[in-house]
Amino acid sequence: MGKRKKHLNATILTIIMLGIGFQIAFSRSVILNVVVTFICLLYLLYCQVLLRKVLIMLLLAFPLAFGSWWSFIMFGTGDTWHSAWIYGSRVYAYLLLGSMLTLTVPVKEILISLSIHIKLSETFVYGLLASFNLLPRIRQQFKLIQYSAQMRGKSYRPWQPALYLRIIIVALHWSEDLAEAMSSQGFSEGFPRTRTFNDPLPRWQWGFAIIVIMLYFSAAFLVSPW
């Protein structure tokens, strides 16, 4: 944790992300979208996220931003150019805002930080963490489900209920096993537990989050630049 001491806390990032993300949906400003995008980009660079990772993310989102932009040129009413640029740049504003949290803090730290600072239920935190470890096995299982269908000359498509039945059966078994395993290892729901994880949240960061969100509000809805 030490080397990330100068970074924003995961809880603060989550609050900023949701607080500004919600407002972006109602703001109609290209300039602000660009400003948000750039500030987040600078933060990513400050946190030394791999440049290649950021570039790939920006490139992958380009077709989506372009599709949005183009659809307003084609189907828009009123000032179509303005709309096109608003909704095209909005894709990037959302992407960068989200990546500010997801690319700079590991999943485990995000969840534990939320449980410490905003009292997100630990049943949810540890339940999610435990299931995330299953990701490789779930991918494997998904392939197995499809192979076993192919053995019987069938193949499952996402609109066939049988596929989901198989998924539900697996989820039922695994969730029971995992929950039992966790309680036998001493996880008891709703009881205090010893923390080995230190997640400092200096008080100024709360103030920072509030100021940033208020600043965005006044810029977007009182000033509302182009």
Partner 1 sequence: MQNMSQKPKRGWSLRDVIFLAIIGIFFGVIYQVWSYAYYLIAATPLKPYANDLTLGVWIMAGPLAGVLLQKAGATIIGELLAAAVEMLLFSSWGAANLISGFIQGLGNELGFACTGYKNWSKLGLLFSTIGATILTFVWDWFQSGYSEYHFGLLLTLLIIRFISIGFFAGVLVYWIKKLVLKTGINK
Pick out residues in 26-85 that bind partner 1 (CB under 8 A): 26, 57, 63-64, 66-68, 70-78, 80, 83
Cβ atoms of residues 11 and 203 within 8 Å: no
Region 95-124 residues binding partner 1, contact defined as CB under 8 A: 95, 97-103, 107, 110-111, 121, 123-124
Q: Are 178 and 184 in contact (CB under 8 A)?
A: no
Which residues have a Cβ under 8 Å from the Cβ of 122 and sit 6 or more positions away? Answer: 115, 189, 193
- Which of 35, 175, 199, 201 is close enough to bind partner 1 by CB under 8 A? 175
Asked whether the beta carbons of 45 and 102 are under 8 A apart, the reply is no
SS3 38: helix
212 binds partner 1 (CB under 8 A): no
From 1-9, 161-169, 194-202, 206-214, span contacting partner 1 (CB under 8 A): 161-169
Euclidean distance between CA atoms 65 and 40, whole angstroms: 17
| Closest CB 16 distance from partner 1, rounded Å | 9
Measure the CA–CA gap between 215 and 226, rounded to whole angstroms.
17
Asked whether position 191 contacts partner 1 by CB under 8 A, the answer is no
Nearer to partner 1, 90 or 117 (CB): 90
In the complex with partner 1, the residue whose CB is nearer, 66 or 197, is 66
- Considering beta carbons, is residue 100 or 116 the nearer one to partner 1? 100
With binding defined as CB under 8 A, does residue 150 bind partner 1?
no
Residue 159 φ/ψ region, left for φ over 0, alpha for ψ in the -120 to 50 degree band, beta for the rest? alpha
State yes or no: residue 209 binds partner 1 (CB under 8 A).
Answer: no
Q: Which is nearer to partner 1, 32 or 100 (CB)?
A: 100
Nearer to partner 1, 149 or 182 (CB): 182
The answer to whether 33 and 24 are in contact (CB under 8 A) is: yes
Q: Is 216 helix (H, G, I), strand (E, B) or coil?
A: helix
Which of 170, 201, 212, 213 binds partner 1 (CB under 8 A)? It is 170
Tell me how far apart the alpha carbons of residues 138 and 141 are, in angstroms, rounded to a whole number: 5
CA distance 226 to 212: 20
Q: Which of 48, 139, 211, 226 binds partner 1 (CB under 8 A)?
A: 139
Question: With binding defined as CB under 8 A, does residue 213 bind partner 1?
Answer: no
**Does residue 186 touch partner 1 according to CB under 8 A?**
no
Q: Please tell me whether residue 226 binds partner 1 under the rule CB under 8 A.
A: no
